Copies of this chain bind each other. A is one copy, B any other.
């Protein structure tokens, strides 16, 4: 069993699955093309910080790993919204005190072109075998009884399933992202710690997550067309001065130009598929099964929850039935969180700046405080419960009419005063 450290997005889910399978007495081999991230320095420009919440923590707890992982995490109590006029306003995640944790910033080198592990299905041998291309570019054939594909959005295991009866959808959104950073000031965080900072400007949005060295990792999301139009330092500075005036001072003008032009913007993909298994021979988990855009902070949490479900099922029935049950129980929830993640971009990019939205959120939170689990706003139920994603969304819809009556009532009160 490898020493488990949550430093690589696409390694967390696979590592947990390996731990849980091993705990059930299976002999587990882990294949990884990329170098051990503990021995490499994080590559710049391909980093999106990870946030872990209830679902992920519960899954880690199953393997007795929750405390060790959270050692590396910084608590986030809410969002700090940087409004266009320069003011900031704090929006807590959960009035009952639950929170996200920001894991260490880690290099996400999962680029399609650099991925070299291929996994083959050998029809004659009736078993999955992996052709792991090693460092010196030779292939190793490996026979396995079960292949667990935790190999990310561009999964090689999944690629071989495309030619079976397999529904698959990949969709790139119009936005790309680029990574920037805010250095520490006098050895301390330059902006209020324990918040996810947000600069919502509609189509252009910056999200900042804290690092343990007191710096901030910033992710700038913009349409590719806007990235293309900012083709020289002067245009970039003018754009930032117009849109993110307070951020430019935090980042530093020279640093901004350097970081912005170092890498090309990365695309954001959303992937749904069905089913997740092939007989009792292969199964997909994490991004390989459901890659999502990062706007709900649920990518890793959903992957860890996959492991938990799979582990529970394997404990109660034979492998073939367990894998089928895993697909049957999981696909609707996975499709729902992929859609919710796209929907949530609207929230973080513009809704948070709207008074009407903040009012709605306040109503939701107050009802939640009074009624507890009987009134669960969408955001809370997705991030701070283990209610199936699909059910979270259905409940939100059924609560909407009550919410609108309250909103109308409050709006009338405000107009009167």
Give which listed residue, B154, B165, B166, B170, contacts A167 with CB less than 8 A.
Answer: B170
Interface of A, helix, strand, loop or mixed by DSSP: mixed
Asked if residues A168 and B165 are in contact (CB atoms below 8 Å), the reply is: no
Asked if residues B165 and A267 are in contact (CB atoms below 8 Å), the reply is: yes
Within 8 A of B (CB), among A148-177: 154, 159, 162-163, 165-172
User: In the complex, what residues of B have CB within 8 A of residue A162's CB?
Assistant: 159, 170
Smallest CB gap from A123: residue in B: B113
User: In the complex, what residues of B have CB within 8 A of residue A168's CB?
Assistant: 168-170
> How many copies of this chain does the complex contain?
2
Interface size class of A (residues with CB under 8 A): 10 to 19
Q: Does A112 contact B (CB under 8 A)?
A: yes
Give which listed residue, B163, B167, B267, contacts A112 with CB less than 8 A.
Answer: B163
Docked Cα-Cα span, A20 to B67, in Å, equals 66
Q: In the complex, what's the smallest C-beta–C-beta distance from A33 to chain B, in angstroms? A: 15
User: In the complex, what residues of B have CB within 8 A of residue A113's CB?
Assistant: 123, 163
Docked Cα-Cα span, A168 to B162, in Å, equals 12
Smallest CB gap from A112: residue in B: B163
User: In the complex, what residues of B have CB within 8 A of residue A167's CB?
Assistant: 170-172
Q: In the complex, what's the smallest C-beta–C-beta distance from A92 to chain B, in angstroms? A: 37
Smallest CB gap from A121: residue in B: B113
Q: In the complex, what's the smallest C-beta–C-beta distance from A278 to chain B, in angstroms? A: 14
Docked Cα-Cα span, A184 to B113, in Å, equals 56
Within 8 A of B (CB), among A244-285: 267
Smallest CB gap from A271: residue in B: B168
Docked Cα-Cα span, A165 to B172, in Å, equals 6
Binary flags per residue of A134-147, CB closer than 8 Å to B gives 1, else 0: 00000000000000
Docked Cα-Cα span, A346 to B159, in Å, equals 32
Q: Known contacts A113-B123, A123-B113: does B163 contact A172 (CB below 8 Å)?
A: no
Q: In the complex, what's the smallest C-beta–C-beta distance from A138 to chain B, in angstroms? A: 17
Docked Cα-Cα span, A123 to B169, in Å, equals 25
User: In the complex, what residues of B have CB within 8 A of residue A169's CB?
Assistant: 168-171
User: In the complex, what residues of B have CB within 8 A of residue A170's CB?
Assistant: 162, 166-169
Footprint of B on A, CB under 8 Å? Answer: 112-113, 123, 154, 159, 162-163, 165-172, 267
A-B contact pairs, 19 of them (CB 8 A): A112-B163, A113-B123, A113-B163, A154-B163, A159-B162, A162-B170, A165-B172, A165-B267, A166-B170, A166-B172, A167-B170, A167-B171, A167-B172, A168-B168, A168-B169, A168-B170, A169-B169, A169-B170, A169-B171
Nearest 7 A-B pairs (CB), nearest first?
Answer: A112-B163, A169-B169, A165-B172, A168-B170, A167-B171, A165-B267, A167-B172
Q: Can you name 8 extra interface pairs (CB under 8 A) apart from A162-B170, A169-B170?
A: A113-B163, A159-B162, A167-B171, A167-B172, A168-B168, A168-B169, A168-B170, A169-B171
